[in-house]
Structure 1
Amino acid sequence: MEYRVLGRSGLRVSEVSLGCWAIGGPSWRDGEAVGWSGNNDNESLDGLHRAFELGINHFDTADVYGDGHSERVLGRFIKEIPRDKVVLASKVGWFRGTAPNAMQPLHIRHQLEQTLLNLGTDYVDLHYFHNTNFGPSDLYLEEAADMMRQLQKEGKVRVIGQSGYSYGDFMRVSPVTRPDVLQFHYNAFGNQFDQPDTNLFQWADEQNLGIVLFGPLAQGLLLDKFDPENPPKFGEGDVRASNLSYTKERLLEIREKLIPIKERFGMDVQDLVRVAIQFALAQSPNACVIPGFKNAKQVESNAQGAGNPLDAEEVAFVRSVIQGS
């Protein structure tokens, strides 16, 4: 396993870390599925222990993942290893309980206390604002930022992070939240964050910010593991059930794009795992990836994607083939 420092945060993490959304299980928010089906707690724990054995030291969860279930599973794992050997990250912002907005300062404190109880620890190494919804006209933005810094002063939060879903949102709130780590979605399909006018990698590198990338495997779509003639069906409470990328037409389109990738880098799923992970990692020396998992086998596959980088020409080749540019 290779390690990277997340910019000015000073956090040293495995370049392939673990996202713990899927192990939270099925869940809903405001009537919409926002979880994952098919999880098993014993298999999740086996996966976490296997990750630790393989040198993965950074585990990313959130209060909303299974409404705390992901944190509680992690908490069982943390009891069995040295706390100071891992970097624990959680988030606040999607689960608002009875508060008018999830970023109301008192709610942020309450959710962190619950997160710490769930995890069985007295601090998180990295705590994110999970989104940029700070209420109407950013009503709670400054107070939320003040609260997070207060929690940092109390030693309950080591590093403050900001997660977001658009370049404009990051630019709007970051001057106030002042994060040391950014988290956002990115993979070889590309998105606004790698475009000239909205290049968040460039901006983050200029600020020496750490970068944590979720979705590097595009929820398996970059691995050509789904049969277009028999598209996958997902259970209740699974966020993928409403994803149109799992239609026959889209799966066939993606399979076609992956042909040149397979011809150059290898035909196995594991070859595609390596390409997808290393493409994302190549975007910044301050970045790590947090692919999800449900069992030890998937953890092993993710971990094997580490330590074998793509060179600049290979990165350009993957980008041109997948994005057509």
Structure 2
Amino acid sequence: MEYRVLGRSGLRVSEVSLGCWAIGGPSWRDGNPVGWSGNDDNESLAGLRKAYELGINHFDTADVYGDGHSERIIGKFLDENSRDSLIIASKVGWFKGTAPNAMQPVHIRHQLEQSLTNLGTDYLDIYYFHNTNFGPNDLYLEEAAETMRELQKEGKIRVIGQSAYSYADFMRVCPITRPDVLQFHYNALGNQFDQPPTNLFHWAEQQNLGMVLFGPLAQGLLLDKFDPENPPQFGEGDIRSCNQAFSRERLLEIRQKLRPIKERFGGEVQDLIRVAIQFALTQSPNACVIPGFKNARQVESNAEVAGKPITADEATLIRQILCDLS
């Protein structure tokens, strides 16, 4: 395993870390599926153990992943290992309970305490604002940011993180939240974050911010493992059930685009895992990836590509081939 420092946070993390959304299982928010089906808690725990064995030290979860279920599974894993050797991250912002807004300061404090209880620890290494919904006209933004800094002074969190879904949102709130680590969606299909006017990688490097990239495998779409003639069916509470990318037409389009990638780098799923993960990692030395998992086999496949970089020219080729798929 190779390790990277997340910018000015000083946190040293495995370049291939672990996203723990899927192990939360099926869940819903406002009637919409926001979880993953097909998980098994024993398999999830085995995956966490395998990750630690392979040198993965950074585990990313959130209060909303299975409404605390992901955190509780990680808590069982933490019982077995040295807390000081692990980087544990969680988030607040999508689950509001009875609060008017999930970023209301009293709710942030409550959710942190609940996350700490679920995880069985007394501090988090990174605590993220999970989004930038700070209420009408950013009503709670300044108070929420101050609450995070108070929690930091109290020793309950080490580093403040900010997750967002657009460049404009990052630019709006970061001057107030002042995070040391950013988290955002990025993979070889590309998005606004690598475009010249909205290149978040360049901006973050100028600020010496760490970056945690989720979705590097595009929910498996970059691995060409789904049959377009028999598109996958997902269970209740699975966010992928609403994703049109799993339609026959889209799967055929992606398969066609991946052909030259497979000819250049190899046609096995493991080859494509390397391409996808290492492409994301080439974007910045301050970045790591957090691919998801459901079992130890998936963890092992993802970890295997650590330390097997692609060149800048290869990254450019991949972008040229896949850029119009986003």
Please report the TM-score for the alignment, with normalisation by the length of structure 1. Answer: 0.99
Equivalent in the alignment of 1:104: 104
Letter in 1 for 2:165: Y
Letter in 2 for 1:35: G
Equivalent in the alignment of 2:274: 274
Give CA deviations for 1:60-105 in whole Å, capped at 9, x if unaligned. 0000000000000000000000001110000000000000000000
Give CA deviations for 1:30-78 in whole Å, capped at 9, x if unaligned. 0000000000000000000000000000000000000000000000000
Unpaired runs of 5+ residues, structure 1, are none
Give CA deviations for 1:255-292 in whole Å, capped at 9, x if unaligned. 00000000000010000000000000000000000000
- Is residue 129 of structure 2 the alignment partner of residue 129 of structure 1? yes
Equivalent in the alignment of 2:263: 263
Letter in 2 for 1:85: S
Q: What secondary structure does 1:126 align onto?
A: strand
Give the distance between the partners of 1:169 and 1:283, measured in 2 at CA: 20
> Which aligned pairs between 1:224-263 and structure 2 lie closer than 5 A?
224-263=224-263
Q: What secondary structure does 2:132 align onto?
A: coil
Give the distance between the partners of 1:292 and 1:51, measured in 2 at CA: 12
> Which aligned pairs between 1:276-315 and structure 2 lie closer than 5 A?
276-315=276-315
Equivalent in the alignment of 2:152: 152
Give the distance between the partners of 1:30 and 1:247, measured in 2 at CA: 25
Give the distance between the partners of 1:132 and 1:229, measured in 2 at CA: 39
Shift of 1:193: 0.4
Percent identity of paired positions between Structure 1 and Structure 2: 78
> Which aligned pairs between 1:137-176 and structure 2 lie closer than 5 A?
137-176=137-176
Cα RMSD (Å) of the superposition? 0.7
Equivalent in the alignment of 2:82: 82
Q: How many residues align?
A: 325
- Show structure 1 runs of 4+ deviating over 6 A: none
Equivalent in the alignment of 2:212: 212
Letter in 2 for 1:175: P
Give the distance between the partners of 2:267 and 2:39, measured in 1 at CA: 28
Q: What secondary structure does 2:260 align onto?
A: helix
Q: What secondary structure does 2:305 align onto?
A: coil
Letter in 2 for 1:212: V
- Is residue 17 of structure 2 the alignment partner of residue 17 of structure 1? yes
> Which aligned pairs between 1:178-217 and structure 2 lie closer than 5 A?
178-217=178-217
Equivalent in the alignment of 1:95: 95
Give the distance between the partners of 1:228 and 1:306, measured in 2 at CA: 30
Q: What secondary structure does 2:81 align onto?
A: coil
Give the distance between the partners of 1:292 and 1:83, measured in 2 at CA: 21
Shift of 1:305: 1.7
Give the distance between the partners of 1:105 and 1:290, measured in 2 at CA: 28
Give CA deviations for 1:162-185 in whole Å, capped at 9, x if unaligned. 000000000000000000000000
Equivalent in the alignment of 1:321: 321
Give CA deviations for 1:211-260 in whole Å, capped at 9, x if unaligned. 00000000000000000000000000000000000000000000000000
Q: What secondary structure does 1:275 align onto?
A: helix
Equivalent in the alignment of 2:221: 221
Give the distance between the partners of 1:112 and 1:246, measured in 2 at CA: 35
Structure 1's 243 and 123: CA in aligned 2 closer, same or farther, altered over 3 A? same
Structure 1's 134 and 313: CA in aligned 2 closer, same or farther, altered over 3 A? same
Give the distance between the partners of 1:267 and 1:141, measured in 2 at CA: 47
Q: What secondary structure does 2:275 align onto?
A: helix
Letter in 2 for 1:231: P
Letter in 1 for 2:58: H
Q: What secondary structure does 1:72 align onto?
A: helix
Unpaired runs of 5+ residues, structure 2, are none
> Which aligned pairs between 1:20-59 and structure 2 lie closer than 5 A?
20-59=20-59
Q: What secondary structure does 1:264 align onto?
A: helix
Shift of 1:324: 4.6
